[in-house]
Amino acid sequence: MKVMLIFTPQWTPAMPHLALPTLTAFLRGHGVEVIQRDLNLETYDAILTRAYLQQSMDRLRARYPRGPRRGGVPERVQWAWAEGPRLAAQVEGAKATFRSPAFYDGERSLAAFLVIAQALELASLPFHPAQLELTSFEAGLPVDSSRHLLAAAADGTRNLFVELFRRGILTDIARERPDIVGISIPTRGQMLAAVTLAHLIKEAKLPCHVTAGGPHVTMLREQLPRTPALFDLFDSAVIFAGEEPLLRLAETLDARGDLGSVPNLVWRDVDRVRVNDSSGHVGPSGGGRPRGNEGSRGDEKPPGDEIAGLPSGAPSMGLDRGAKTGRVAAGVQPAPLGNSDISWF
C-alpha cells in the first residue's frame, strides 16, 4: 500500500507546516510506504522563475494587445509591461538570496523580498482578482461555496493552480501510482488548490483513492454530508485526528474491506454520503515521530541533541496536540470545536 500525502497552497513558505511530517512518521512507523510532497513550496518555487513570469506577461499581452492607444488597459497591467522584464531577470537571484546566508544581510534581503513580492503580483495579474502573496492567497471567489469551488476547479483562465498542477504534481501522481492520495487542508485558503488537485486526479482517471482532511475539513464536518457533489472529486474525508483513521483506511482498502469500519471517515457509499463514528475523536496509538525524511518507531527513546539537521545543543520545541483540552499545536489555526482534540491532516 502506497500513500502520497500532499500539502496544498497557500501557506507561508517561510514556516513549513508539521501536518504531513507527523502523519508520514506515524504511517511509516506502521510499515506503510509514504511519499510526502510540499506542494505549497513547490508552487512558489515554480512561479518564482524567469520562465513563469515571462509566461505571465504573454498571457497579459494576449488579453490586452498593445497598440498606439492604451485606453482601457488597467494601470497594473501597464505596470506589468514596464516592470515585468526586470522582475523576470531578477526573480531567480532574489530566490537564491532567500536560500543563502545573504538573507541575513538586511539590505540585500529587503531588495530580494521586494522583487519576490512584485513577482508574485505579476504572476497573479492574469488571474485577477486572485492574488497570491507570501503570506496569503485570495482566490477571487467565495471559497466557502462548493458551487463556486467546483466551477473554478476546472477553469484555467481564473484558477492559477490548474496549469501548474497539471504540468507538475499530476504527472508525478501518474508515475508513482499511489493507492491513496491524502490532501491536507488546514485552512480555508487551501480549499481552491485542494479541490483543483482532486478534480485533475479524477479528470485524468488515475486509479487512486482521494481523501482529504485537516482542521478546516473538521470544521466542515456538518456541511460535508449535505454536499454530495464534493464526493465526485473526493472519495472520502477524515475529520478530527488523522493518524489512526488514515492507517485504518490504508489497511481497509488493501484488504478490500468495508469503509464503514474506518473511524472519523466521511465517505460516499454508492448514492449517499455516510459519516462513520467519530465520538472518540480517534488519535494516534503510538508509533512514529517526525525526524528528517524518515519515520521512526514509537518504541525509540525520545529525541535529544541527535535530532537530524540540528547542531548539538540547539534548542528544541515542544509541540502539544491538545489532549482534549482545547489547546492547539503550534502553527495550526484554531477552529471553533470546543474542548476537542484538534489534530492535523
Domain ranges for the chain, please list them.
2-43+143-275, 48-138
| Residue showing cell 532574489 | 94
| Residue showing cell 471517515 | 265
Mean per-residue pLDDT pooled into runs of 10, the chain (345 residues): 96 89 95 96 97 96 71 87 96 96 94 97 96 94 90 93 96 97 95 97 97 94 92 95 94 95 93 83 49 38 40 43 34 32 29
Which helix (H) or strand (E) is 169 found in, with range?
A: helix 169-176
Cell digits of residue 29: 512507523
Task: Return the number of other C-beta atoms located less than 10 Å from residue 156's C-beta.
Answer: 14
pLDDT at 277: 86
**b/e 86-102 (16+ beta carbons within 10 angstroms → b):** ebbebbbebbebbeeee
pLDDT at 241: 87
Cell digits of residue 263: 473511524
Q: How would you class 202 by CB atoms within 10 Å of its CB: exposed for 0-12, middle for 13-18, buried for 19 or more?
A: middle
pLDDT at 73: 85
pLDDT at 196: 97
Q: How far apart are CA 194 and CA 211, in angstroms?
A: 10
pLDDT at 115: 98
Residue among 223, 228, 229, 180 at smallest CA distance from 201: 180
Q: Which CATH architecture has domain 2-43+143-275?
A: 3-Layer(aba) Sandwich (3.40)
Biggest distance spanned by C-alpha atoms of the chain:
73
Q: How would you class 264 by CB atoms within 10 Å of its CB: exposed for 0-12, middle for 13-18, buried for 19 or more?
A: buried
